[in-house]
């Protein structure tokens, strides 16, 4: 796993100067703007929904994340992203059997997924305000088991420190979505299948949405 993460990081560092050198704005035909106008790079934050389905059990997680992408061509970008899903509350109701009615309890899960992905993004309609895209990324998913019920900086770093340990698994992500822009500002919505390997293949629906900025 450490070799995989090192390779991903090296690929990103090598891709950055390539993308910057390729993105020299040249006038288009007939004086039209270059395809790289407002299309050099893109950064954004997003809200994340993960339908975690390791077996017959299923749980819905929500979290936050961020991504950055560098265009090596108007239709091709290289993206890296990371997101952290918060603890999920389970609500359980049961009868006490004493005539006092039902009792409700709240239980906080000890598992908080942390995901890091890197890969290409193929985009269409780069010259217009709306464009569609497909992506395929490789990375990891780590399951932090911090027992603290409070989301804080320490719980996040607890998950990061676990990368490379027994709670980290190889992950793949095929997905696609739409982006809508008004100048450099826009909104991105995406859905895909977050697949991870752990003595088998597990598929998990993942949906993200949030603001983006391109330049």
211 or 21, which is more confident? 211
Is position 135 within any domain? yes
Is position 28 within any domain? no
Pairing of strands 102-108, 112-124: unpaired
Asked if residues 137 and 170 have their Cβ atoms less than 8 Å apart, the reply is no
Q: Report the C-alpha gap between 176 and 196 in whole angstroms.
A: 18
Is position 177 within any domain? yes
Mean pLDDT of 156-173: 70
Range of the domain at 67: 2-23+41-214
The pTM (predicted TM-score) of the whole model is 0.73
Q: How confident is the model at residue 8 (pLDDT cuts 50, 70, 90)?
A: very low
Q: What is the DSSP letter of 32?
A: P
- The encoded tokens of residue 198 equal 């752990």
Token match 């992203």: residue? Answer: 81
Provide DSSP, 51-72.
EE-SSS--EEEEEEEEEEEEEE
The CATH number covering residue 7 comes to 2.40.160.20
Under DSSP, is residue 74 helix (H, G, I), strand (E, B) or coil?
A: coil
Lowest pLDDT segment from 18-27, 65-74, 96-105, 158-167? 18-27
For the CA atoms of 32, 37, 38, 42, the dihedral, rounded to the nearest 10 degrees, stands at 140
Mean pLDDT of 12-25: 42
Q: Report the C-alpha gap between 206 and 200 in whole angstroms.
A: 19
Domains identified in the chain, total number? 1
Is position 36 within any domain? no
157 or 173, which is more confident? 173
Mean pLDDT (the chain) is: 76
117 or 90, which is more confident? 117
């Amino acid at each position: 796993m450490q070799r995989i993460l090192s390779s991903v990081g090296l690929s990103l560092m090598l891709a950055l100067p390539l993308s910057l050198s390729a993105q020299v704005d040249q006038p288009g035909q007939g004086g039209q703007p270059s395809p790289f106008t407002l299309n050099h790079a893109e950064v954004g934050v997003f809200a994340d929904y993960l339908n975690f389905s390791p077996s017959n059990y299923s749980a819905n997680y929500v979290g936050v994340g961020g991504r950055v992408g560098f265009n090596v061509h108007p239709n091709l970008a290289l993206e890296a992203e990371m997101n952290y899903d918060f603890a999920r509350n389970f609500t359980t109701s049961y009868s006490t059997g004493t005539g006092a009615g039902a009792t409700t309890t709240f239980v906080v899960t000890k598992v908080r997924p942390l995901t890091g992905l890197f890969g290409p993004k193929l985009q269409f309609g780069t010259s217009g305000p709306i464009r569609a895209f497909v992506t395929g990324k490789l990375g990891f998913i780590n399951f932090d088991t911090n027992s603290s019920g409070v989301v804080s900086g320490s719980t996040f770093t607890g998950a990061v420190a676990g990368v490379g340990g027994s709670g980290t698994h190889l992950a793949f992500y095929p997905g696609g979505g739409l982006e809508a822009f008004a100048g450099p500002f826009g909104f991105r919505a995406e859905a895909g299948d977050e697949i991870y390997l752990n003595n088998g293949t597990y598929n998990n629906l993942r949906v993200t949405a949030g603001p983006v900025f391109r330049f």
